[in-house]
Structure 1
Amino acid sequence: MEKRNTPAIWTEMNNQFRPKIRYWLLAAAVEEEDLRLEIRQLSDRGFGGVEVVVLSSVDPEVLRSEFGWGTEKWDRAIEVIASETERLGMTMDLAIGPGWPIASPMIGSEEEEAVLCELTYGEMVVASGAYYKGKLPERRKKRNTKVSKLIHVMAYKEKDGNSDKVLQSDTYIDLTGYINAKQELDFRFPETAFGSHWKVFAFYQQPAMQKVNAGQTYVIDHLSRAGIQACEQYWDKVMEKYDFPSMESLFCDSL
């Protein structure tokens, strides 16, 4: 087999086969000449592209200022990186949002369908054979929002004195159809063997109230069409205004 000099191979290698490097920025609190210099240095060291994302430890005051993610100064910094990487034959990837998880400035409040939601629950005990008409168990975790949606109500038999609190799976009762207009449960529970009772669970969907970008930007519901569309709407606006010639992809940081 022919032996080849490794440094020579590296010099001859096309940029598309070279490794990329994560390029953390202090948001837009950067100088254009410094950006160009650093990109040249990365190219000289053999990298074929950069992945641009905001450093997670940036001072919140910077993120809330004119130098924050998504501002005109931020877009200008990305333009500089794009032009310099194109000039050097490199590529540029952009984080799809200001950090992890994915977030979009197109979401204005926690009431919007695109916002990240979570499932929480409440529980209560009802005696064997008892008739219950009253409030559902409260959510065990409440956020600073009035928005919540009842998803499902169910019951399982649980044996008294069982320290492991094991539910008997074959005793499941769907109670969702027994919720009246006042959001009360109205149901007579079956008799059970001596020493057991019913455990009632109510599951609720509510906004997770999670924000990134110094608390400015709501995290999207990653599994919903509305969440994806919130991202698309933001990037459609950016791409209509700017041309990033070396841009290869958008990516989600840390996933």
Structure 2
Amino acid sequence: MFLQLTMFSSFKFLLICLVTLRTTAAHPATDEHNYYKNNRGTFQNPAKDVRPKFRYWLPDASVDPAGIAADIKDIGSIGAGGIEMCNYFMYGGQIGEPASDWSTYGFGTPAYNKILNTAAQATKDNDLVIDLALGPESGQGVPAEWDNPGLAYDLISHNIKVSAGDTYKGKVPGYGNGTLLSVTTAAILHSENYSTPNLVVGLIPNGFINWTVWNISADSLNDVTSRVRPDGTISLEFPQHQTAKGYFLWASYFKLSSDRAAIPGSSPQNFLQNGSFAVDHFSTRGAKVTTDFLEKYVLINGVKELFQQVGKYIWEDSVEIKSSLYWTPDLASTFKEMHGYDIGKYAMLLAESY
């Protein structure tokens, strides 16, 4: 029996399902159907809750509050139900400088709170509804200390290849580059290189995308994590194999990804001025980073009370987090509790590149 290693981006989806299933199964969704049935108005005069809304992109908090109020009034005057307020902030862009100083006009600053208050008040004055993205860009994160354990994690891999019949003595690959999840070995039965043109806009060649498919022996897959010494060294013998000429020595680690949703302001002096980091989407720690920030810096000075009157959704537009492989520190223990075996042994099968 053999297993094939290649680029499995779909495993990201599987891991998302694994964790979110546990957290959502016990919380049935609100019966929105009955709500809308009783609050939708008529075809000729639909209620504000079911009218189309405008997605309103806020560049940053340096814009004129009076202009926002005027926009919302105009939106209501043509029959819309309200706005979805997205905090654009260059949409996470890393190139170029912001047009204004985000140390002053960033997400969660007093200037931002003033803008949000104006938008919510204008929504109320015009009998509309307002939705708000959880944070800047798509809402995947908020300002936080760079080492906050509630931020997003990556599962990363390091490996070397060892010839059959050889002995390996030394550091496990990549040791120290995160929290060790597992160290595994597997016999390599076959490998084949592939290449395809990298097409820009589906038409224009821009070099090539190259990758290798590795076939490994499922029976040879072995978890040797317990043999790693406190200093990160390991001693292993790789036996001769009937068909394999070599082995993988594979180490998997998880660590904070440091992926940003917004870049810092100029000369940041504190975390509030240091942009936003994506939060862990698979733990209560990550959720609490967001809710704590919103309660302390966003839903203040009357904004919370206004949103209780005219707000509909506080939402994340999409999970746009750069990652080698999404992870969370409790995933391994949750997986074992649900399935009865360790995922660490199979971590190399989840990796995207080799």
1:220 correspondence with 2:279: yes
CA distance 1:63–1:101, change in 2 (3 Å): farther
Letter in 2 for 1:168: S
Matched with 1:5 is none
Match of 1:246 among 304, 310, 319: 310
Matched with 2:233 is 184
Question: Deviation per CA, 1:184-235, whole angstroms, max 9, x where unpaired?
Answer: 1222233312652211111111221211222422211111221111011112
Q: CA separation in 2, counterparts of 1:176 and 1:77? A: 53
Computing the radius of gyration from Cα coordinates, the structure with the larger value is 1
**Displacement after TM superposition at 1:54 (Å):** 2.1
Matched with 1:116 is 152
* TM alignment of 1:1-80, pairs within 5 A: 12-57=45-90, 60-62=98-100, 64-80=102-118
Under a length normalisation based on structure 1, what TM-score does the superposition of the two structures give?
Answer: 0.84
Which is helix-richer, 1 or 2? 2
Letter in 2 for 1:125: K
Question: Deviation per CA, 1:133-164, whole angstroms, max 9, x where unpaired?
Answer: 2111127xxxxxx7611111111111367664
Q: Which segments of 5 or more consecutive residues in structure 2 lack a partner in the other structure? A: 1-41, 92-96, 194-212, 265-274, 320-354
- Do 1:53 and 1:95's aligned partners in 2 also have CA atoms closer than 8 Å? yes
Letter in 1 for 2:55: R
Q: CA separation in 2, counterparts of 1:101 and 1:86? A: 23
CA distance 1:83–1:240, change in 2 (3 Å): closer
- Do 2:60 and 2:89's aligned partners in 1 also have CA atoms closer than 8 Å? no
- Do 2:167 and 2:237's aligned partners in 1 also have CA atoms closer than 8 Å? yes
Match of 2:249 among 184, 190, 200: 200
Letter in 2 for 1:227: G
Structure 1 residue matching 2:124: 3-state secondary structure? helix
- Do 1:100 and 1:253's aligned partners in 2 also have CA atoms closer than 8 Å? yes
Q: CA separation in 2, counterparts of 1:160 and 1:87? A: 69
Q: Which segments of 5 or more consecutive residues in structure 1 lack a partner in the other structure? A: 1-8, 140-145
Moved more, 194-203 or 114-123: 194-203
Runs of 4+ in 1 over 4 A off after TM superposition: 160-164
Under a length normalisation based on structure 2, what TM-score does the superposition of the two structures give?
Answer: 0.62
**Displacement after TM superposition at 1:61 (Å):** 4.5
Match of 1:104 among 137, 142, 165: 142
Aligned pairs, how many? 239
Q: CA separation in 1, counterparts of 2:83 and 2:133? A: 11
* Percent identical residues: 22
Q: CA separation in 2, counterparts of 1:101 and 1:190? A: 51
Matched with 2:167 is 131
- Do 2:138 and 2:318's aligned partners in 1 also have CA atoms closer than 8 Å? yes
**Displacement after TM superposition at 1:28 (Å):** 1.6
Letter in 1 for 2:85: V
Question: Deviation per CA, 1:76-127, whole angstroms, max 9, x where unpaired?
Answer: 111111111112211111110011351122x212x32112111111111222
Letter in 2 for 1:253: D
Calculate the aligned-residue CA RMSD, in Å: 2.3
Matched with 1:4 is none
Q: CA separation in 2, counterparts of 1:188 and 1:147? A: 24
